[in-house]
Amino acid sequence: MKMDWSSELNNSICTVSQLRKYADLSHDVERKLYEIIKRHPMCVTPYYMSLIDWDNPSDPIKKMAIPSLTEFNLEGSYDTSGEAENTKMPGLQHKYEQTALILSTNKCATYCRYCFRKRLVGLPSKEVIKRFEDAAEYIKQHEEINNVLISGGDPLVLSNEIIESFLAVLSDISHLKFIRFGSRTPVVLPSRFEDDALLDILRRYSYSDRRIYVVTQFNYPREISKESVKAINNLISAGIILTNQTVLLKGINDYPRTLAKLQNKLVSIGVNPYYVFQCRPVKRVKSAFQVPLCKGIEIVETAKKSCNGHSKRFKYIMSHRTGKIEILGIRHDDIYFKYHQAKDIKNLGRIFKRRVDKKAGWLDDFKKR
């Protein structure tokens, strides 16, 4: 029998013993996975579990959702984009003049092993919003803010009542021109969008002159299934604009053909490619998932050759402490970057370069010239 979204969430695979039903695990591996899960919880929806090809030991969906022993590698940091220094109150960040970011929850439908907010997802956290009204008051006082990104965790796993209360409060702020939900729910829990009550709420608050956007995160072509396409269709029918951020991930989409196929498929289902993000040097993530920048440029540029104008509109971006930095390309011995968004407004649009370093995966890895 088909489950509704909340029963599906309740039936998620969250323990090593549940995982045993899907994979052969030695006693030693089980013990180590148990240790990892204690530190960073596992939770995979039955739907997302069903996309895994268990006969393939390097299956990309498996790599994204199931913990591995690489998580014992502590290289990196838990706050790679300076989120702490941009926090104005628990759960509210204001880094770029026009955008406020709200951490609405620490929960997600599936905990992605490469998550850059690994420090908080599925864990008790003081970083999540306490009183949404206080965040709204801050936004009201800052008329330069014209959009809000509701993130987390994944805001669309919250109840309809909570989602509606967020939208009702934000709707009263006239200088807000659009509201975004950052969510992987269409990818990992598409049944969420069979909930007519949720679709009604989104439809009611997505006005013709102040749309709601859902920023999805499809990373691999197999994630575009008949179920996720239906979720996207339902969102489009509710007047929602869909954009997508893909994270460039080692062993998942770091092949030009895979990346091109993904972006082309997204356009065909009505989801606009927005960013391809460089994977951040996050503790327990970096060694398993980050692709060096020089290789990333090669992958992105080769992929673009198989994309049409729409599917290659994305920017290849590093979300750095100092801003969103576009990775432009390599010329001779130099790699070129440009500030697409900047914490310090003086940097906006600035182009700069670093000497090529084939191993560098992040701006701070390069030596300054």
**Residues in touch with ligand SF4 (CB under 6 A):** 108, 111-112, 115, 117, 121, 152-154, 184
Q: Nearer to ligand SF4 by C-beta: 100 or 112?
A: 112
Q: Nearer to ligand SF4 by C-beta: 184 or 324?
A: 184
Residue with tokens 């200088």: 175
Q: How far is CA 237 from CA 100, 190, 299, 326, in A?
A: 27, 15, 34, 33
User: How far, in whole angstroms, is CA 71 from its chain's centroid?
Assistant: 19
Compute the least distance from the CB of residue 301 to ligand SF4, in Å. 25
Q: Nearer to ligand SF4 by C-beta: 108 or 327?
A: 108
Listed in sequence order, the DSSP H helices in 87-159 are 132-141
For residues 332 and 324, what is the distance between their CA atoms, to the nearest angstrom?
24
Compute the least distance from the CB of residue 61 to ligand SF4, in Å. 13
Q: Nearer to ligand SF4 by C-beta: 99 or 347?
A: 99
Number of Cα atoms under 13 Å in the Cβ half of residue 217: 21
For residues 44 and 65, what is the distance between their CA atoms, to the nearest angstrom?
7
Paired strand residues for 317: 277, 326
DSSP 8-state assignment for residue 17: H
Compute the least distance from the CB of residue 122 to ligand SF4, in Å. 8
Q: Nearer to ligand SF4 by C-beta: 91 or 256?
A: 91
Compute the least distance from the CB of residue 335 to ligand SF4, in Å. 27
Who's near 228: CB < 8 A, 6+ residues apart? Answer: 186, 187, 190, 218
Amino acid at 19: L
Angle, alpha carbons 282-284-288 (nearest 5°): 90
For residues 225 and 234, what is the distance between their CA atoms, to the nearest angstrom?
14
For residues 69 and 190, what is the distance between their CA atoms, to the nearest angstrom?
29
The tokens describing 254, both together, are 């770091």
Residue with tokens 């960073």: 40
Q: Nearer to ligand SF4 by C-beta: 5 or 111?
A: 111
Compute the least distance from the CB of residue 105 to ligand SF4, in Å. 9
Q: Nearer to ligand SF4 by C-beta: 289 or 339?
A: 289
Closest CA to 283 of 70, 60, 31: 70
Q: Nearer to ligand SF4 by C-beta: 115 or 307?
A: 115
Read off φ and ψ for residue 260, nearest 5 degrees. -65, -45
Q: Nearer to ligand SF4 by C-beta: 106 or 339?
A: 106
Compute the least distance from the CB of residue 152 to ligand SF4, in Å. 6
Compute the least distance from the CB of residue 275 to ligand SF4, in Å. 13
Compute the least distance from the CB of residue 187 to ligand SF4, in Å. 8
Compute the least distance from the CB of residue 185 to ligand SF4, in Å. 8
- Grouping H, G, I as helix, E, B as strand and the rest as coil, residue 209 is coil
